[in-house]
Amino acid sequence: MVFREDFPMLNKDIIYFDNSATSLKPKKVIDKMVDYYENYGANAHRGDYDISYKVDIEYENARDEIVEFINAKSKEEVIFTSGATESLNMIAQGFFANIVEAGDEILITTSEHASNVLPWFRLANDYGCVINFIPLDENLHVTMENVKKSITPKTKIIALAQITNVVGDVRPIKEIAKLAHENNIFLVVDGAQSAAHMKVDMQDLDVDFFVFSAHKMLGPTGVGVLYGKKELLENLEPINLGGGMNESFDNPKEIYLKDLPTRLEAGTPNIAGVIGFGEAIKYLKNVGMEQISERERHLREYLVEKLVRIPHIDIINLEADSGIVTFNVDGIFSQDVAYYLNKYNVCVRAGNHCAKILKNSTGVTNSIRVSLSFYNTESEIDEFVELLKNKEKIMEEMI
Amino acid sequence: MDKREIILQHYSKPQNKKRMESEEYTKENTRNSSCIDNLDIYIKIKDSYIEDITFDGEACAISISSASIMTKNLNKKSVREGLEYIKNFENMLNEKEYEQNILKEAIVYENTKNTSRKTCAWLPYDAAKKILEKNI
């Protein structure tokens, strides 16, 4: 594959199947950040000299890339954060904490990642909201019917991942947004697992908030995005106050803040990270999101078709429209399988994958997860499947 | 038997693996923050002696086998002897000086060089140590 040579980590003689945890980074992204540190490493928002002016230009170019990538209406709707986790906490604490009332219901599912569960649990504990779970169907998917059934006159928020990190199902976000708005409900979407793997269009989906992390989409760690509709972000109280985001202040009663998006980006931002993120977005656009989705679906089918033929393998998510395959080897603890695979330089994740309440729905406490990316290959999958065919060999070598 | 066989034997047929509801037992949970190993250790102490020790839970081959061997070795020891045994095991894992003969089968974990597996081998000991230290 032509893309593989762009990724330095792919020359390390490993099979990297843990792309849902973090993606690998193309050389261009790394170089872009090194270029900042080596050639114009000044602070942002201080444009009195040339290199600082260049920082502002590059920083805002990255924002423009993202505005276009997710089809937001304007720059004001794209806030840089440290990642999806911080974005979700800002939404819960900065926006919803000011408007929820005791008894308001928040709808989530048992397959959400911890970062789309705990901020809502805290809101429920602090303000007397009630957490309800949309039931999952037999494939662990969210159906419109079940969303409809879960809505009550008290439902205020629906918070869902677009793609979940264990089951890998793609939720019908556009339909859910329509239904939510017909019932005066806010829809918050965790795009951490989706933004790198499918086309996401904010205006088409019509979600209220959407969050994602750069490091899962070929970009650096420590940077992410909080997207929100402008009229909602206007009412999002900054959690952090400080430099860069204030207009002026004299005393506690007279604090004037800047406009969006800067108002929500206090302190010196992760400049190198943001600039690198912009480069990652360019790279994704160049490969093409449709092509990425199609390639990953193909790789998943290729893998599943081979795994179902192995009698001692139980696939937990047979049906999923993403690159995620979750399974167990009958009678062997998932972590032991992962250690065995590690001996052959195969990187997979074992455990509960931060979805600690999913076991309530599946009855499975832990599993092995393969998460594929477009840069993975059929021959890597062949090698991987070969390693799993002989259960005795796994037992023999797992220690 | 080589080391691997000993580990596998204790994993497939662990000794003293049972949950103890009785109040005579002190229970201590032990889990690995980076993974899903999750064990409970139960110890019944009478007159500063370990009268019985068991474990239960879900964990990888290294943790389960280590718990099996540990319970076998700690049973009927005095609390002091038990802590001495645990100290020796800890020293072995950390490549410090230790007395081999006290550890018996537990020396199979001598080469858990991979640090994450070292954590697995140590997991049941962490809980047992906590219980014994409270009863010294």
Which residue from B minimizes the CA distance to A366? B36
A235-262: b or e for each residue (b if 16 or more CB lie within 10 Å)?
A: ebebeeeeebbbeeeeeeeeeebbebbb
Domain boundaries along the sequence of chain A: 2-17+288-397, 27-286
- CB within 8 Å: A352 and B36: yes
Show residues of chain B in contact with A333, CB under 8 Å.
Answer: 58-61
Q: Between A160 and A318, where is the model more confident?
A: A160
Q: Do domains A2-17+288-397 and A27-286 have the same CATH topology?
A: no
pLDDT of residue B114: 64
| A-chain residues near B8 (CB < 8 A) | 395, 399
Q: Tell me which residue of A291, A388, A301, A288 sits closest to A346, measured CA to CA.
A: A388
Interface contact flag, B35 A336, Cβ < 8 Å:
no
Provide, rounded to the nearest whole percent, the portion of chain A with pLDDT above 90. Answer: 87
Largest CA distance in chain B: 39
pLDDT reported for residue A354: 65
- pLDDT tens column, A137-157: 988 999 999 999 999 999 999
Classify each residue of A39-59 as buried b or exposed e, where b means 16 or more C-beta atoms within 10 Å of its C-beta.
ebebebbeeeeeebeebbebb
Strands in B38-46's sheet, in edge-to-edge order, are: B25-31, B38-46, B49-58
pLDDT band at B113 (very low <50, low <70, confident <90, very high): low
pLDDT band of B35, cuts 50, 70, 90: low
Question: Is residue A333 classed exposed, middle or buried when 0-12, 13-18 and 19+ CB atoms within 10 A define those classes?
Answer: buried
Average pLDDT value for chain A = 95
* Domains annotated on chain B, with CATH: 3-134 (3.90.1010.10)
- Residue B34 has a pLDDT of 62
DSSP letters along B71-108, please?
A: HHHHTT-BHHHHHHHHHHHHHHHTT----HHHHGGGGG
Using alpha carbons only, give the angle A105, A91, A44 rounded to the nearest 5 degrees: 180
pLDDT value at position A265?
A: 97
Element (H, E) at A367: strand A367-371
Residues of B in contact with A339 (CB under 8 A): 60, 114, 117
Mean per-residue pLDDT, A193-202:
97
Whether A399 and B58 lie within 8 Å, measured CB to CB: no
Residue A1 confidence (pLDDT) above 60: no
* pLDDT interval class at A48 (50, 70, 90): confident
The answer to whether A354 is a known catalytic residue is: yes
Measured CA distances, B8 to A49, B14, B121 (Å): 67, 9, 13
Mutate to test the interface with A, among B36, B62, B63 (most CBs of A within 10 A): B36
Query: A27-286: what fold?
Result: Aspartate Aminotransferase; domain 2 (3.40.640)
Closest CA to A339 of B119, B106, B93, B90: B119
- Distance, in Å, from the CA atom of A195 to the CA atom of A70, rounded to the nearest integer, reads 8
Binary contact (B36, A398; C-beta < 8 A): no
How far, in Å, CA of B42 to CA of B25, rounded? Answer: 6
Nearest chain A residue to B38 by CA: give it: A365
Residue range B70-79: mean pLDDT, rounded: 97
Check A354, A357, A385, A395 and give the catalytic one: A354
Which residues of chain B are within 8 Å of residue A396 when distances are taken between CB atoms?
4
Instruction: Calculate how close chain A gets to B104, using CA atoms only, in Å.
Output: 19
Does the complex come out with an ipTM higher than 0.95? Answer: no
CA closest to A349 among chain B residues:
B35
- Nearest CB partner across the interface for A398, out of B37, B59, B61: B61
Out of A366, A398, A399, name the one closest to residue B36 (CB). A366
Q: Do A333 and B62 touch (CB under 8 A)?
A: no
Structurally, at CATH architecture level, domain A2-17+288-397 sits in Alpha-Beta Complex (3.90)
Q: What is the pLDDT of residues A151-192, one digit of tens each?
A: 999 999 999 999 998 889 999 999 999 999 999 999 999 999
* Beta carbons of B60 and A395 less than 8 Å apart: no
pLDDT tens digits for range A207-250: 999 999 999 999 999 999 999 999 999 999 999 999 989 989 99
Cβ within 8 Å, pair B4-A399: yes
From A355, which residue of chain B is nearest by alpha-carbon distance?
Answer: B36
Handedness of CA A155, A143, A320, A294 (dihedral sign): negative
